[in-house]
């Protein structure tokens, strides 16, 4: 019986290949090119989706600085960034290194997946890789996970798992499971992943739900408008700045202030308390739309800020990973993501003084499972006699 991944990086046992030496060489190269092209599209998704922009309009990529559309010959993955030395050919504004990193990362992951997975399974792996790369960079920059992607993929995967063994059998004795067994495995992976992290979110809300700041003296606060599309609206208290995405996870979240001298567009509004919600400000019985405000500031003696142990987007993400990979992968992904997050916090001081975007670590845990973690788990269970 052939095991998954026996063709590790030799590219000679992939069932998609037909006999002939040229294809053995060409197909891995094509997987690299395909990954770079997908990575180029993911850059568009990563930039536009969190800003509420249409991915397909305009259809051609454009420079965020000068807004000029980029012709195809200046939009070649990796090559363009290197030739132009990371700058726009039109306005000479800097192109973030993230663009070339996403293209190279996606290209390499596609190439490795081609060497590991046979048949149509490699296509399923590519879809998962693309989703995880895009979600990781969006969450890492904006502290938000596009949960609609996760909810969309789950029912699709239920259907796919009925007809195609896909990736569900990794690390399980039922390699190649399909039919209703595949659907059950996919659905149980989703349930364990989603409900497990929902429990963590609820417990975290009880333990860490609010941050209360008592000011010894009146402290100045204000809302700071973003200076560019790369930044968020900020709540500023004294010398501390808090991004909007770090505070407002749900519609019920709000910042509560006790103080005086509340200035709305430079005009004094009487009141001893103020509430800031995601879309409005309430002072006494008066309500102001945030979209229409030019400025908001005041002096505070007490501030209550909502906080989370984990974002609301993480449970759907782990649920989607479980639907792709099955319940064993959920447990492995959750445990390994904890180790990755702890290592990042200690070595890179990620998360010190601000929320830690957990989506990238869940994605890294899933990729670890995808590229060999299932074998490590099988070896470990055999080692301890289970």
- Predicted confidence at residue 344, as pLDDT, reads 84
- Predicted confidence at residue 176, as pLDDT, reads 52
Read off φ and ψ for residue 63, nearest 5 degrees. Answer: -80, 125
- Predicted confidence at residue 101, as pLDDT, reads 94
Greater confidence (291 vs 246) lies with 291
- Predicted confidence at residue 230, as pLDDT, reads 64
pTM, full prediction:
0.73
Separation of alpha carbons 56 and 63, rounded Å: 15
- Is 123 a residue whose pLDDT tops 60? yes
Angle subtended at Cα 72 by Cα 71 and Cα 73, rounded to the nearest 5 degrees: 95
pLDDT band at 349 (very low <50, low <70, confident <90, very high): low
- Predicted confidence at residue 309, as pLDDT, reads 62
Q: What tens digit of pLDDT does each residue of 269-281 get?
A: 988 899 999 889 9
Mean of pLDDT over the chain = 81
Read off φ and ψ for residue 212, nearest 5 degrees. Answer: -105, 125
pLDDT band at 23 (very low <50, low <70, confident <90, very high): low
Least confident of 136-150, 296-310, 368-382: 368-382
For the segment 103-108, the average pLDDT, to the nearest whole number, is 95
pLDDT band at 137 (very low <50, low <70, confident <90, very high): very high
Question: Residue 141's closest CA among 111, 93, 84, 101?
Answer: 101
- The answer to whether the CB of 265 falls within 8 A of the CB of 294 is yes
- Predicted confidence at residue 201, as pLDDT, reads 73
Separation of alpha carbons 207 and 217, rounded Å: 28
- In sequence order, the 6+-apart residues with CB closer than 8 A to the CB of 306 are 209, 210, 211, 247, 248, 249, 253, 254, 255
Block residue for tokens 């103020």: 274
Greater confidence (65 vs 359) lies with 359
Greater confidence (9 vs 106) lies with 106
Greater confidence (131 vs 198) lies with 131
- Is 310 a residue whose pLDDT tops 70? no
- Predicted confidence at residue 8, as pLDDT, reads 38
Would you state the structure tokens that stand for residue 377, as one six-digit string?
């788990």
- Predicted confidence at residue 159, as pLDDT, reads 86
- Predicted confidence at residue 17, as pLDDT, reads 44
Separation of alpha carbons 100 and 238, rounded Å: 37
Least confident of 76-90, 172-186, 325-339: 172-186
- Is 112 a residue whose pLDDT tops 60? yes
- Predicted confidence at residue 350, as pLDDT, reads 57
- In sequence order, the 6+-apart residues with CB closer than 8 A to the CB of 329 are 170, 171, 189, 321, 322, 366, 369, 373, 374
Separation of alpha carbons 104 and 84, rounded Å: 16
């Amino acid at each position: 019986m052939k095991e998954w991944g026996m063709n590790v990086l030799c590219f000679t046992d992939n069932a998609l290949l037909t006999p002939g030496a040229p294809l053995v060489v060409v197909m891995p190269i094509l997987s690299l090119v395909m990954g770079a092209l997908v990575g180029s599209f993911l850059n568009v998704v990563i930039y536009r989706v969190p800003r509420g922009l249409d991915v397909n309009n305009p259809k051609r990529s454009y420079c965020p600085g000068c807004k000029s559309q980029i012709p195809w010959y200046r939009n070649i993955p990796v090559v363009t960034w290197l030739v132009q030395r990371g700058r726009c050919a039109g306005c000479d504004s800097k192109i973030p290194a993230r663009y070339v990193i996403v293209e190279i990362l996606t290209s390499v992951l596609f190439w490795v997946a081609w060497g590991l997975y046979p048949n149509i399974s490699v296509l399923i792996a590519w879809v998962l890789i693309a989703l995880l790369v895009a979600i990781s960079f969006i969450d890492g920059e904006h502290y938000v996970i596009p949960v609609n992607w996760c909810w969309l993929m789950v029912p699709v995967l239920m259907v796919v798992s009925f007809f195609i063994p896909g990736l569900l059998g990794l690390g399980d004795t039922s390699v190649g499971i399909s039919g209703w067994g595949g659907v059950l495995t996919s659905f149980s992976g989703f349930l364990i992943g989603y409900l497990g992290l929902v429990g963590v979110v609820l417990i975290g809300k009880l333990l860490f739900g609010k941050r209360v700041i008592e000011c010894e003296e009146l402290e100045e606060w204000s809302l700071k408008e973003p200076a560019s599309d790369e930044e968020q609206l900020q709540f500023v208290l004294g010398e501390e700045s808090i991004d909007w995405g770090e505070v407002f996870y749900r519609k019920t979240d709000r910042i509560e202030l006790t103080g005086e001298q509340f200035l709305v567009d430079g005009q004094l509004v009487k009141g001893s308390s103020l509430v800031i919600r995601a879309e409005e400000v309430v002072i006494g019985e008066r309500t102001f739309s945030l979209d229409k405000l030019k400025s908001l500031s005041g002096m505070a003696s007490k501030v209550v800020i909502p906080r989370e142990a984990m974002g609301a987007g993480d449970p759907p993400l782990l649920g989607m990973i479980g639907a792709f990979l099955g319940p064993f992968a959920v447990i492995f992904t959750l445990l390994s993501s904890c180790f990755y997050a702890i290592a990042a916090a200690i070595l890179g001081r990620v998360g010190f003084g601000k929320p830690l975007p957990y989506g990238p670590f869940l994605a890294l845990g899933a990729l670890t499972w995808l590229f060999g973690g299932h074998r490590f788990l099988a070896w470990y269970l055999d080692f301890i006699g289970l």
